Amino acid sequence: MIRHILAIDDSASMRQILAATLTSAGYEVTLAADGNEGLENALATSFDLVLTDQHMPGKTGLDLIAALRGNPAYQTTPILVLTTESGESFKSAAREAGATGWIEKPLDPDLLTELVAALAEPEAT
């Protein structure tokens, strides 16, 4: 079941949107401002879902995903990429890195909560 979500984005306004959207949907949310901080948080605490921006200083979203997938605790954890990219080459690279899926920006809060709920369903049944 998805209860605790790690949301990583270098944009303060996007972090606020993610926190407000997910908290109002009943999830506990931890925020990180870049890939390095996100990785530190992920290694210190167990999360049920990771949302990461792609373009950030330091580690990109795909770098972060590859690092998390190398950790046994995150081999099956859903990881979604928040991105402005929609090309097939990016989607292929995201799959290769281990992303569960992606959400294109601008972010639709309703779509985000629906997607998180859908990811939680298989575990709840």
Percentage of residues of the chain with pLDDT beyond 70: 97
Work out the average pLDDT over 104-111.
93
State how far the Cα of 52 lies from the Cα of 38, in Å rounded to an integer.
Answer: 8
Could you tell me the pTM of the whole model?
0.94
Identity of the residue numbered 119:
L
Q: pLDDT digits over 45-85, tens only? A: 999 999 999 999 989 999 999 999 999 999 999 999 999 99
Q: Say if residue 122's pLDDT is above 70.
A: no
Residue 88's contacts (CB-CB under 8 Å, 6 or more residues apart) are none
* Per-residue pLDDT at 59: 94
The answer to whether the CB of 16 falls within 8 A of the CB of 39 is no
Tell which residue, 107, 125, 119, has the closest CA to residue 16.
Answer: 107
Tell which residue, 67, 76, 80, 13, has the closest CA to residue 37.
Answer: 67
User: What domains sit in the chain, N to C, each tagged with a CATH number?
Assistant: 4-120 (3.40.50.2300)
Which position has the token pair 């590859």? Answer: 66
